[in-house]
Every structure is written in structure tokens, then in C-alpha cells.
């Protein structure tokens, strides 16, 4: 059995409700990832996606449960986990070189300036910003700012790159270009990525696995879609693959209908420790016992 690189173990998030009592965002959430895997999580607003990401980043605490990364429990922020937010979150008084160098020098505090700048330059070049090193954020386009954020995240060699809808504010052409760059870089570096998105096509293009969450409060991971498309994908060809629309339709069907009705449909049958894994358009890939359910018209092992 392959060892889990990231293991989310029975976590919950609760907080006091304004009207009294307790609101449970999600409860008993289990999820694991392997090293080098690109995972996207999809669900309606309010299901706790960003909360899960913040817990992975060490920026928020669980109400119960634990998160283990590379055999270490998360107990706070760490340079082993880099976050790319919706907004660029750059330091406005620093240049492109200054922003990336700041991250590098924070990770390797004993490095001299030339070594820091050399490493920063490597990742500035990697994201295609050669020539923009002396520009400040105010002089950059939205896409260029996000490139700086990606360069800064990658420059510290994080064990996990956490991405919270990093392309949602960009125009379609810039978004597509950055998706291509992120996919290329992550494949070249074998980077482990956990990404939130509301864009189904983006998830299908980028992810190895797509995690589907039900509506909150009290959200759960309903199922995990293992992307059946080839690892090598080209943007202009991906929609022509015979399994593209089965995957897309399966996810959209979940978001439109099953994310709302899941609790009623699966009452008493959903085991959060053994979430069904499906490959729409193909045979199931995971069988945890002899029971086989049919979800959204596709066979799913449970």
C-alpha cells in the first residue's frame, strides 16, 4: 500500500452561531493525498473548502481531528506549505525580485544575497517574468502578479502548494495561459498541489483527482473523482477526449442536484472514512467492500 503523504483524519470545524448554539461547517472529514498528486476540491460556497485549505496551511485550527503531512502533525504555519491566494498578496514596496528573494531568504536565513538572488531568478525565469525583475506590483498586470506569487511559492521548495482559486479574477486568456504554466511546472517539479476551484473545466484540465463536497453547513466529502484523462493533456485537445464529457457531466450533475440531495439519498449509508472513488465513463477503481452503489448514473465503489 502506498504511504499517504497528506492525511486529513476526521477533522471538524465548528463555531458559535449568532443565534446561539453551534454551527458545524463540516464534521468527520477524511481525505488523503499521495506525494506529487494534484488535487482539486469543488463545492458550493459555504461548504468549508477554504477552511480545509487554511487548516492545511496552519492558518486555522480544527475543532477536532488532525492533519498529518509527511508524518508530521500540522501545528501552525510553515514554509513547507506555500499558499497562493485569489489576490496576489505581494509586498507592494518590493520589486518582483524583492518579493521572491524575501521568500527565499526567509527559508534559508544563512544564505548570502548573491545566492538568494540566483535562486529567485531561477523561479522568476520559470514563470516567464524575465525582464520584469525591477518592477513593483503596481506596474504589473493581474496575470503577472499571480506569476510572481507562483514563483515565490515554488522558490521555497514547499512540500505542498495550496491554491485558493488563484485564477478566478483573471480574464479568460490570461487564466488559460497561467493554467498551462502551473500544469507544466507542477509536472516538471513533481509538486504536490491542493487547489480550490469553482471552474469544472479547470479542475478536469489540472487535477489528478477532484474532491466533491456537499453543501454546508454539515458538509461532507461525497465522492472523489479520479480523472480518467491521460496525464499528458493539451488544452486545445482535452475536450475531444471521449471521457471528457462523462467526467464533466458527472461533476456538474453533482453540483446542480446531488450536492443538495446527498444527505437524504445517503442517510445511514455514507461512511466518511471510505468515500467512494469514481472514474466516470469507466469501471470503478476502488472497492472497499462488497457493496456497490450507483451515483449519478455511474458505478461507484463504496
Q: What is the rounded distance in angstroms from the CA atom of residue 284 to the CA atom of residue 273?
A: 18
pLDDT above 80: residue 193: yes
CB 122, CB 129: distance < 8 Å: no
Range of the domain at 265: 6-80+158-301
Residue 92's pLDDT is 94
Mind listing the pLDDT tens digit for each residue in 224-257?
999 999 988 888 889 999 999 999 999 999 999 8
Residue 145 lies in a domain: no
Residue 194 lies in a domain: yes
pTM: 0.87
Residue 137 lies in a domain: no
Q: What is the mean pLDDT of the chain?
A: 87
**Reduced to 3 states, what is the DSSP secondary structure of residue 222?**
strand
Which residue stretches of the chain are H helix?
49-57, 96-107, 113-126, 142-155, 172-189, 200-206, 235-238, 244-253, 259-265
Residue 62 lies in a domain: yes
| Sheet (strand 64-69) strand order | 22-33, 6-16, 64-69, 72-73
Residue 86's pLDDT is 83
pLDDT above 90: residue 7: yes
Residue 23 lies in a domain: yes
Instruction: Look up the CATH number of the domain holding residue 199.
Output: 3.40.50.300
Q: Residue 203, class by beta-carbon neighbours within 10 Å (0-12 exposed, 13-18 middle, 19+ buried)?
A: buried
Partners of 298 in beta bridges: 295
Question: Closest Cα to residue 39, out of 76, 10, 75, 8?
Answer: 8
Residue 96 lies in a domain: no
pLDDT above 80: residue 176: yes
Helix and strand counts by DSSP (H, E) for the chain: 9, 13
How many structural domains does the chain have?
1
Strands 193-196 and 22-33, by their bridges, are unpaired
CB 56, CB 160: distance < 8 Å: yes
Lowest mean pLDDT among 91-95, 267-271, 290-294: 290-294
Partners of 294 in beta bridges: 299
Residue 100 lies in a domain: no
Name the DSSP class of 20.
S
Q: What is the rounded distance in angstroms from the CA atom of residue 191 to the CA atom of residue 189?
A: 5
Residue 115 lies in a domain: no
Q: What is the rounded distance in angstroms from the CA atom of residue 244 to the CA atom of residue 250?
A: 10
Amino acid at each position: 500500500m502506498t504511504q499517504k503523504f497528506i492525511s486529513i483524519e476526521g477533522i471538524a470545524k465548528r463555531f458559535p452561531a449568532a443565534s446561539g448554539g453551534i454551527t458545524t461547517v463540516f464534521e468527520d472529514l477524511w481525505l488523503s493525498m499521495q506525494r506529487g498528486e494534484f488535487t482539486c476540491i469543488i463545492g458550493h460556497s459555504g461548504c468549508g473548502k477554504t477552511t480545509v485549505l487554511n487548516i492545511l496551511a496552519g492558518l486555522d485550527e480544527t475543532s477536532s481531528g488532525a492533519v498529518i503531512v509527511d508524518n508530521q502533525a500540522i501545528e501552525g504555519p510553515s514554509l513547507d506549505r506555500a499558499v497562493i491566494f485569489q489576490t496576489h498578496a505581494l509586498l507592494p514596496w518590493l520589486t518582483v525580485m524583492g518579493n521572491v528573494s524575501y521568500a527565499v531568504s526567509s527559508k534559508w536565513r544563512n544564505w548570502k544575497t548573491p545566492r538568494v538572488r540566483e535562486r529567485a531568478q531561477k523561479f522568476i525565469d520559470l514563470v516567464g517574468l524575465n525582464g520584469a525583475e525591477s518592477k513593483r506590483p503596481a506596474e504589473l498586470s493581474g496575470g503577472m502578479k499571480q506569476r510572481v506569487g507562483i514563483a515565490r511559492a515554488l522558490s521555497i521548495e514547499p512540500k505542498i502548494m495550496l491554491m485558493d482559486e488563484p485564477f478566478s479574477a483573471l480574464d479568460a486568456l490570461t487564466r488559460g495561459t497561467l493554467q498551462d504554466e502551473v500544469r507544466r511546472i507542477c509536472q516538471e517539479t513533481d509538486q504536490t498541489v491542493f487547489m480550490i476551484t469553482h471552474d469544472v473545466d479547470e479542475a478536469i484540465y489540472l487535477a489528478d483527482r477532484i474532491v466533491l463536497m456537499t453543501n454546508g453547513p454539515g458538509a461532507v466529502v461525497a465522492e472523489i473523482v479520479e480523472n480518467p484523462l491521460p496525464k499528458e493533456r493539451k488544452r486545445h485537445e482535452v475536450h475531444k477526449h471521449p471521457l471528457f464529457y462523462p467526467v464533466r457531466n458527472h461533476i456538474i450533475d453533482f453540483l446542480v442536484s446531488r450536492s443538495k440531495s446527498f444527505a437524504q439519498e445517503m442517510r445511514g449509508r455514507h461512511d466518511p472514512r471510505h468515500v467512494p472513488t469514481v472514474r466516470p465513463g469507466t469501471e470503478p477503481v476502488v472497492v472497499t467492500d462488497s457493496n456497490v452503489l450507483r451515483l449519478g448514473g455511474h458505478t461507484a465503489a463504496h
